[in-house]
Structure 1
């Protein structure tokens, strides 16, 4: 674990990651000149030495070649002894006297001067591959007791490794080094950012009410601080889910237990009515008992929907699920002199909780019917990933600050909509719980003219 192996700590991973990345780039760039030098410079091969030796022996046999115009004949020579040649290219010779002067050429390339210095440093015959030529030598010999040295030059004689291209193009090499370091650092950032994205996703899901959201096992099994944080987050989520579920069960249990004395009270009232006992007090008790019974029923419904029990998911058409509820809502709207406009696509079919979803839409429609001036609308549409249900009305709307709070249990904003309401603020809370049970999202907003529009998005 972390305590036993400090190298599992995030600090060391960051340090080693960036250090190795920068060291690798520096090493690759720095090794190119050394590799090039080792590849280009080598001891004089026997075949090239034999070429120089043949020319030197010819000069020794014909000393007149060192005089006047005969020196020009030594500038170019074809390889007639089976030596190496490049695409039939000529062998060019450089004859140097004891004072280091080139005897057979007035113009000497900068590369040849560099090679002379290399040969002096090496203190032995060598060959060196320049970009477009191979220079080799020197071969030392004497003519009439005078020292001479012979050098040779051939056109580009052998292919160079592909990576030497970068040594010859410094700007391109620097750009590629920057790109490579960016890629390596990007991989490191992705490795470190992936668990953070997983944590963010799980935290957002938990904040939206998805109590089952957890950080994935891959992140939780990491042996650094990210893994510890993931384990701590999952433990916190477990505790929150257990706490909320226990609270909902407690509310459901209490509501259920209240049903027993309430039933006895209603039975006693019925017996009193049967005996002919009538009074204002009894009427008031009966009314409050009915209100209490309705409240307990709403609490039990909220508890069942929140805990998502006693109902199985079914794949069914939306029109089939909402059919009876829409008929009841249409009748209720007609009784109040209002009109319900229904536009439900009959082809929408998806997996959902029929009774829970029907209850959620029913609560929205009843609120819309209650507060609408004349028209209520319910529409639906299906995309590749979700089903959208929209309920709207032409009523007074809500204050902007209350558009999210209305879905909280027992929330009753002090505005025109709720002053005429006789509810307890549980209807929209049940709708919110039903949408959460479907892993969906609900949003309320005011229409540009007037009225409220509520949108439900359910994932398929």
Structure 2
């Protein structure tokens, strides 16, 4: 299976192996002389040991030291002073020197490798040039032995780095696998927030992503549940007017012409009710759709227009409009107007004819506050929490509407990043408070 896990693991492992291996090989190829001089167990200490014999015991002891070295390790050594003159005879035969001179244009044909190094004695301050000639078989044998430790260290490093790469790969692919499962569950509408609870506790980007995904999943599940509930409520609400229409049509089909004329107004009323219900349902559904770009809204002008439209019927009660000018909000004017109109008409429906409905707008704590108060009986405390839900009507108010006005107002407030508070006024009557943020907002889910 060509999964992301194996791709990431292979990429990490190959990159580490190539970098480590190439670093060793390049370093070994470019610095062979330095590598041999620093790593060879004889050559790395030879200058110091020879200088000690020469300065403390004399040239004879130094020459004996080099001859013993040749017999034991087959390494020829010459030592020159700063003027280029031999300090001691050394162990390199003259015939070998003549052969080397003849092969100076092609040193690869020599049976030995020539290395040079300088050493300054800390006691005398004299600088010596040491020339080594190591036979190729001797050098190859040492190479094989000297690579055991670097190769072992490289293998250990590769094992450790492979484990580290495995952990890194798991830390990436496991959260992705959990997110994939969560996405699948979300598509099947069986998403549970606790499925990403452990991942959301992480303090890295995956934790932030899981937290945001949980928030999105909860919101989507809430919307799906509300849409399903709305569909059930719509089906229930549409069934009653359709049933009345069917009964009226059945009666009209069997009635005489005179009786049929009396049934037409009833049919018109039922059609009007059905049209009004469908219009409100479409308005509520439209609030969840994508909206156009927001624009500045002059609340004083908007509230004055809504108030004048509500009074066109010429019926009481009047409206007491008070606006703390200037007030403006960034949003969708049609949506705000519909919300305020629903609240205002709802208040006029239950307010006494001799008491004005209070429509006030002000700025409080950096937010725009639009309040609508009537002087009617208010709502029962046990029903306040349900007000604003689609199709909910308090007992005794079944004929007052379809139960969508407050739901439309609440959804409009939420789309603007605000809220709708419904409560009884301490001095009597019902109070609806619509709070909106003044700053531009983006439409949410």
TM-score range, shorter chain: 0.3 to 0.5
> What TM-score, normalized by structure 1, do the two folds share?
0.43
> What TM-score, normalized by structure 2, do the two folds share?
0.44
